[in-house]
Structures are given as C-alpha cells and as structure tokens.
C-alpha cells in the first residue's frame, strides 16, 4: 500500500517536467522561434531549398487565414504569393516583397553554424539571411497575424511576395513576375522591398538602387618567351586597361572621400577576377608570355548616371579595339524606364505614398534618416520599371550592417520591434484612400 503514493508522486513529477519542457523558450511557438525555423531552411546558392521554404511559409499563411498560391516562371524556382483581401478591392493594392534565396556562407568563418539560427544568451540570432532578408519575410506575416488578432480589416488588398533568385540577379524571379499577367492582375499601387540595417538610431529608407553591370575585358597579343619585350602583349594591354579604370575609380572615390556624394551616388568599379597564363602539371609556365588575358569588373551605376556615356567611355578609353581588346557587358536589370527616366521613387509631397509612409514611421515612435540610393541592388528596380513607387526598407536600427558577411546576425529585440513597425505601416498604408 505504501508504494502507490510513490508511483503517483513519480507520475506527477514527470508531468511537471514535461510541462516545463513545453513551456521553455526553445519549444514555444513564438515570433522568434518561427523566425529561427525559417532561417534553418538552407536557401543558399548554388542549391537553394526553395521547396521547403515555400512549404513553411504556406503553413504560416494557412495558420492566419491568408490566401496563397505558387507560380513558376522557371522550372524549380517557385514564387509564393500571399493575399489578404481588402474591404475595397477596387483600390490599387499594396505589395510587400522579399526574396527566398540567400548567398552562400563559409561555416569555418562563423562563430555558430550559419544555418543553425542559434540565439545566444544576449539575444543575437546567428544565421545566413537574418538581415538579408528573411527578417522582413517573416515580419510581414507576423504583423498581419497581429493585425488579424486585433480584428483589423484593410481597405486595400495586401499582397506578400516571396521571389526566387534575387541574389543572382532575379532574372528568373522578379524580372519575369513584374511583366506577367499575374502581376498585372494584382493592380499594385505601392510596394515595399528590402533595405539595409542602420548602425544608428534612425531607420534607413531607399528610393532607388544602383544598377549592376558585369564587365568582362579580353586582351590578345603575340605569345613568346618570357625574356622578350613586346609591344601590345596581352598582359601589357590588360594592365593598361587596369591603369585607366583605376584612375576613373579614384576620381569617383575622391568625390566620396571629400563628402561631396555618398558611395551610392557615384559609379563604382571594382576588379573581381583576372585570368591569364599558361599552366601545366607543375603550375604556371613562368617563361611563357600568354596570348590571351581576361579580367572581370563589377560596375554599379546610380540611376542618375548616363548608361550611353558609360558605354562610350568603356569603348574608347577602357577597352580600345586598337589595343587588340574586346569586352562584354552583362546588364543585370534596368537603369531607366521606357521613357528614358531614372528609376527613382519620389520622397516628397509629390508622392502621397511617401507622406503616409513617413507619418506611419513617426506614429510608431521611430525616426527616418535622409532617404538614400541603395549602394547595392534589389528586386525593387524591376517594380519601379513598371512605374510603381517602391521604397526599400528593413526596420533594423542600432544594428551593424552584416549582409553577405561572416556571422550575419540580428538582435531578437530588433526583430520584434520591426514587427510592430510593420503593423503600423500595413494599417496606415492599407487605410489610405486618396491614391
């Protein structure tokens, strides 16, 4: 008879332990743990797991009653579209965009495995994509979840898009999406896309992107013995191009260093590879001058730049045919619209959407820095090309800029504050009736 209470005591003890485990931060279903789940899906190139990411996001959409559908403009590259119908669907809709993919990571250079989404005791969440840009992808959903719990009903329909391949140019993702009937049917009036973190107290906001060009330069010349001096050898011709391009780079950088323009307002050009030399099983042949040499450069043009003038400079100054040289430019997206106008979104009273956005940030108790041109590139340029106003915005203040860097991370409190900011933005923008 004495053993029965003991068994009851053990059973009760196990129940208490089980309840405590379920109630622990690691097991709870919270905005932060849901963010961690999304981060653990390895969507890094060259083999992003789009299928698992879409499945997870669909489950989140279902949990809050959002409509969803997937579209494939290229095989194996799904685009997910979530929709929250407004009470007045005839009004132009809102689009909140983010991308599914991320850049690769070097695990040996990280404090924690880059796809483990470890949250340290001080609240830092380490994972590839925390800043670029799985944070906003989940913040959109969490903000809508909270608004639904408050019984908020938007006047305008809200669409949330998750696109593939942004990190490799977006040609099989956003570029095809914005020129499709599927996009036309959305009747988008205003859009938000990704921005960047701000080390200071103010949120950064971007009204334009720089346009990326990939420049490949090839030089040819007579091959020969390494001891001979030639005019116009392949390597000599390539080095002359490096000198000319280097002077242009310095002229642009001098403007930045003199504080006459920001980095994003000038044309940047940086060498990214050089390929030359004759190889064998023992390595490079040091006594042979190669007949071919090649180099690659990353160019970024602000929307204020003249692309035709840039091409003239490349043809006449950087890679003149008289030096047995040729080049190829791969343009990664548009820099002007069909009327030849720069792809920029107004950030003044001429754009009513800007005024609503600015007021919503103030209402949320936050501050905006001076609007900028983004130094890098996002899918926003494709949407702007359709004549739709777009702002780049990621609510991360007091945060180091770590996109594409080792140990990319985001503070949990910063992530949670961003959800509240999007609540205000979504409610304000979707209630705006005049545009």
Q: Is residue 287 part of a domain?
A: yes
**102 and 49 in contact (C-beta within 8 Å)?**
no
Q: Is residue 16 part of a domain?
A: no
Going from the C-alpha of 57 to that of each of 20, 38, 106, 154, 332, the distances in angstroms are 28, 8, 26, 21, 28
Co-location of 60 and 177 in the same domain: yes
Q: Residue 27's pLDDT is what? A: 57
Q: What is the DSSP letter of 316?
A: I
pLDDT in tens, 263-275: 999 999 999 999 9
Q: Is residue 406 part of a domain?
A: yes
Q: Where are the alpha helices (DSSP H) in 100-192?
A: 134-149, 174-177, 181-184
Co-location of 289 and 425 in the same domain: no
Q: What is the DSSP letter of 315?
A: I
Co-location of 40 and 116 in the same domain: yes
Co-location of 326 and 351 in the same domain: no
Co-location of 291 and 377 in the same domain: no
**394 and 368 in contact (C-beta within 8 Å)?**
no
Q: Is residue 297 part of a domain?
A: yes
Burial annotation 280-289 (CB, 10 A radius, 16+ → b, else e) = eeeeeeeeeb
Co-location of 196 and 134 in the same domain: yes
Q: What is the pTM of this model?
A: 0.88
Q: Does the pLDDT of residue 36 top 50, yes or no? A: yes
Q: Is residue 19 part of a domain?
A: no
Co-location of 80 and 196 in the same domain: yes
Q: Does the pLDDT of residue 24 top 50, yes or no? A: no
Co-location of 231 and 263 in the same domain: yes
Q: Does the pLDDT of residue 280 top 50, yes or no? A: yes
Q: Read off the CATH number of the domain in which 225 is found.
A: 3.30.70.360
pLDDT in tens, 208-258: 999 999 999 999 988 877 787 877 899 999 999 999 999 999 999 999 999
Co-location of 261 and 194 in the same domain: no
pLDDT in tens, 62-89: 999 999 999 999 999 999 999 999 999 9
**345 and 303 in contact (C-beta within 8 Å)?**
no
Annotated catalytic, 166?
Answer: yes
Q: Residue 227's pLDDT is what? A: 80
Number of domains within the chain: 2
Burial of 193 (0-12, 13-18, 19+ CB in 10 A): buried
Annotated catalytic, 29?
Answer: no
pLDDT category at 338 given cuts 50, 70, 90 is: confident
- Which listed residue (142, 166, 194, 412) is catalytic? 166
Q: Read off the CATH number of the domain in which 389 is found.
A: 3.40.630.10
Count other Cβ atoms within 10 Å, centred on residue 410.
Answer: 26
Co-location of 309 and 385 in the same domain: no
d(CA 37, CA 60) in angstroms, rounded, equals 11
Q: Is residue 5 part of a domain?
A: no
- Which listed residue (101, 133, 165, 408) is catalytic? 101
**Host domain of residue 81:** 28-209+342-431
**102 and 43 in contact (C-beta within 8 Å)?**
yes
| Least confident residue range of 5-14, 133-142, 182-191, 408-417 | 5-14
Query: Strand, coil or helix: what is 403?
Result: coil
Q: Residue 1's pLDDT is what? A: 41
Burial annotation 91-117 (CB, 10 A radius, 16+ → b, else e) = bebbbbbbbbbbeebeeeebebebbeb
Q: Is residue 337 part of a domain?
A: no
Q: Residue 435's pLDDT is what? A: 61
Q: Residue 225's pLDDT is what? A: 76
Q: Does the pLDDT of residue 16 top 50, yes or no? A: no
d(CA 176, CA 383) in angstroms, rounded, equals 11
Q: What is the mean pLDDT of the chain?
A: 92
Co-location of 84 and 33 in the same domain: yes
Co-location of 359 and 318 in the same domain: no
């Amino acid at each position: 008879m004495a053993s029965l209470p003991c068994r009851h005591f053990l059973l009760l003890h196990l129940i208490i332990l089980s309840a405590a485990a379920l109630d622990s931060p690691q097991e709870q279903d919270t905005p932060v743990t849901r963010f961690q789940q999304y981060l653990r899906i390895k969507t890094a190139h060259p083999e992003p797991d789009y299928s698992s990411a879409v499945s997870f996001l669909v489950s989140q959409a279902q949990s809050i009653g959002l409509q969803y559908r997937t579209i494939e403009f290229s095989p194996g590259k799904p685009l997910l579209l979530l929709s929250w119908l407004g009470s007045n669907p005839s009004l132009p809709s809102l689009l909140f965009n983010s991308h599914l993919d991320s850049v690769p990571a070097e695990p040996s250079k990280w404090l924690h495995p880059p796809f483990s989404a470890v949250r340290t005791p001080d609240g830092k969440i380490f994972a590839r994509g925390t800043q670029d840009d799985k944070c906003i992808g989940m913040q959109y959903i969490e903000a809508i979840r909270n608004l639904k719990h408050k019984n908020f009903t938007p006047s305008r329909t809200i669409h949330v898009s998750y696109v593939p391949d942004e990190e490799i140019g977006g040609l099989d993702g956003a570029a095809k999406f914005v020129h499709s009937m599927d996009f036309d049917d959305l009747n988008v009036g205003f859009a938000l896309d990704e921005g960047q973190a701000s080390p200071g107290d103010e949120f950064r906001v971007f009204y334009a992107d720089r346009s990326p060009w990939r420049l490949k330069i090839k030089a040819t010349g007579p091959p020969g013995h390494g001891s001979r001096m030639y005019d116009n050898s392949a390597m000599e011709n390539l080095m002359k191009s490096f000198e000319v391009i280097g002077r242009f780079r310095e002229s642009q950088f001098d403007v930045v260093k003199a504080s006459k323009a920001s980095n994003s307002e000038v044309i940047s050009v940086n060498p990214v590879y050089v390929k030359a030399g004759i190889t064998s099983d023992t390595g490079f042949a040091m006594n042979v001058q190669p007949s071919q040499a090649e180099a690659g450069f990353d160019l970024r043009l602000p929307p204020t730049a003249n692309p035709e003038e840039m091409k003239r400079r490349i043809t006449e100054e950087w890679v003149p045919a008289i030096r047995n040289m040729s080049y190829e430019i791969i343009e990664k997206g548009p820099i002007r619209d069909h009327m030849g106008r720069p792809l920029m979104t107004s950030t003044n009273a001429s754009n009513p959407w800007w005024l609503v956005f600015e007021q919503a940030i103030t209402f949320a108790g936050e501050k905006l820095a001076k609007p900028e041109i983004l130094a890098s590139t996002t899918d926003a340029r494709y949407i702007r090309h359709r004549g739709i106003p777009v702002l780049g915005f990621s609510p991360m203040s007091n945060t180091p800029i770590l996109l594409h860097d080792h140990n990319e991370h985001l503070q949990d409190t910063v992530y949670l504050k961003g959800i509240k900011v999007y609540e205000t933005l979504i409610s304000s923008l979707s209630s705006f009736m005049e545009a």
